[in-house]
Structure 1
């Protein structure tokens, strides 16, 4: 996304840009979802859109219309194909499939060493994330949003094609924050994903057993085919990844802390930060001075403190929020587009005791 933005900006026409990736990006290795008002810049490659979401807690469940928002899904392969094609038309950008081994700096240049070669430049944007980046510190909790999903095709129609199941906390919580996430593409096809907010991963069969049980018990389907699978882990932390930045290396994406700490949503967060990064880069000021930290960071920190203290009550937070506020209010808050008084309204709609305790602990 950054390479494409620089490639179409005339400011960088005389710059030589190298894009390195260990993968050729020719498979559908992931999906991204986001909510958006009306038409958006990715609509030409959006795979599916939903106008309703379903939320289920332990005591409360409801289907919500989300206009003027819609919930959109983008397949990784469609994004890669489109953006690599755009990049290929830029004569000053080279894409090479090589795995980065190490990045070194001296007073004048930065050197990227790969398994095949060695490259020198003035600036490196590094999106390689490693959980070890957050190791050795206790100031900020580090949870994971980890998941495994099945793309299934059922023998009979069971899905509401106009409704995405945003969170279904009716599944056993087992001391963690656990929910199901369902994205239907037709009445017989959907992505069914088991997601947790917790410190540790599960064994693969635990995710699979949970999905199969959900299909059988909640969706009443025992006859289905698994056509694809996906799995992943997204960091949920307010750790300051900018500590790893230097004058010549700037971390971006998940490695730069661009994943929303309280939700793990990263795609639209990245799309909003890229133009700011590009404009800042054009000023010639040191990139180490560019920070995206704002008041929402503090809200996310309190939420993660609450989950760290008692991971089993995560469903209570979301259940209270969706029971007391509209999804439009929740989306606006998570998009970090609310004013301070709207923030207070959303915070007041959450369980007050655990958040008050977390706030007092941080203050004192």
Structure 2
């Protein structure tokens, strides 16, 4: 039996799916095309924050919680104060984005929200099979992570995993206009682990303890490290925890994009849109959606040229070093922030640098481990 038929079906109502829906809604080119967004639940929860750097004003400025023009990088071998000009580092709470996106999308008759869980998409019949129904579309944008990612051992996998406390103190301890990108002074057993601080006022901040490791850890370790940092480095004995958040972000060179086709485009984490060497995804998602829209309007396959091969190779090398020598993280990141300007760093991480600037970054990070990883990944 034929299920509901749509022009586009977006499988997954997360960051990528809703950003894509917003762009489709805003462009008159897609007016009148029936579009389904299919997700197990559209319930909005306060469970994460996204941060990104950006020059000047951006389309999300009305939603951001706060922004900073100054930053810090601290390790046992470096103490760098970062002037972000002409960038700002911006924070957006997920619930504000979802509230805005869903409110905007539901004003259009072209969109329908469907609560269902898709288990399979048949690329021949273009039928998606859900628990409650089946759905046909001329094109699927699919955010599901393929099972092969969990099963294969052929690619490097690092986990960015963290837990954060949103705290409020009686005494002023934070510098409101300066966030801390990484503080390596409190590390955990020779791992790449650090503290990340987003201050909202002199008395209030989000403090996260973060690992970049090839393994996960017990819940109690995050709590132990957070409490130790607050006590020993912030010198706070009493404070109120207003909220907690935690997460696991995949950092991998797995080729998610290989599943793209003329009729199915992988998006979000399941499309490899998380920057493999950093775990950042918000602005990368925005850029990739802009490319998809341009491709469709030009008559190309939506996924045409979504990735630059050189950056995927650079990230694969970096991940291989971290996987083999996780104790090297502090040293590598210290070189990165000591020997390069903020503009150079952000342009490189945004994948907007010419090859000569790529070389400058690479030489600044030099370590024999990178040579080993270069040849390990070059052979693949």
TM-score normalized by the length of structure 2: 0.90
Q: Counterparts in 2 of 1:4-153, with a 5 A limit?
A: 4-96=22-114, 98-105=115-122, 107=124, 109-129=125-145, 132-153=147-168
3-state DSSP class of the match of 1:202? coil
Number of the residue aligned with 2:10: none
Q: Counterparts in 2 of 1:1-364, with a 5 A limit?
A: 1-96=19-114, 98-105=115-122, 107=124, 109-129=125-145, 132-287=147-302, 289-363=304-378
Greater than 6 Å deviation, 4+ residue runs:
none
Q: Find the aligned partners of 1:291 and 1:133 in 2 and give their Cα distance.
A: 21
3-state DSSP class of the match of 1:45? coil
1:118-168 Cα deviation digits (max 9, x unpaired): 3221211111236x4423434420111111111111121111101111011
Q: Find the aligned partners of 2:123 and 2:87 in 1 and give their Cα distance.
A: 48
Q: Find the aligned partners of 2:89 and 2:161 in 1 and give their Cα distance.
A: 21
Give the CA deviation at 1:10. 1.6
Q: Find the aligned partners of 1:341 and 1:290 in 2 and give their Cα distance.
A: 22
1:221-260 Cα deviation digits (max 9, x unpaired): 1211111111111111111102233443221011100100
Give the CA deviation at 1:103. 2.3
Q: Find the aligned partners of 1:126 and 1:106 in 2 and give their Cα distance.
A: 12
TM-score normalized by the length of structure 1: 0.94
Q: Find the aligned partners of 1:326 and 1:154 in 2 and give their Cα distance.
A: 33
Alpha carbons of structure 1 residues 83 and 172: separation in structure 2 relative to 1, 3 Å: same
> Number of matched residues?
361
Range moving further from structure 2, 115-124 or 165-174: 115-124
Number of the residue aligned with 2:8: none
Q: Which runs of 5+ in 2 are unaligned?
A: 1-18
Give the CA deviation at 1:106. 5.5
Alpha carbons of structure 1 residues 4 and 288: separation in structure 2 relative to 1, 3 Å: closer
Does structure 1 conserve the Cα–Cα contact (< 8 Å) formed by 2:288 and 2:306? no
Q: Find the aligned partners of 1:212 and 1:262 in 2 and give their Cα distance.
A: 28
Q: Find the aligned partners of 2:113 and 2:344 in 1 and give their Cα distance.
A: 41
Give the CA deviation at 1:27. 2.1
Alpha carbons of structure 1 residues 137 and 359: separation in structure 2 relative to 1, 3 Å: same
Give the CA deviation at 1:217. 0.5
Give the CA deviation at 1:12. 1.4
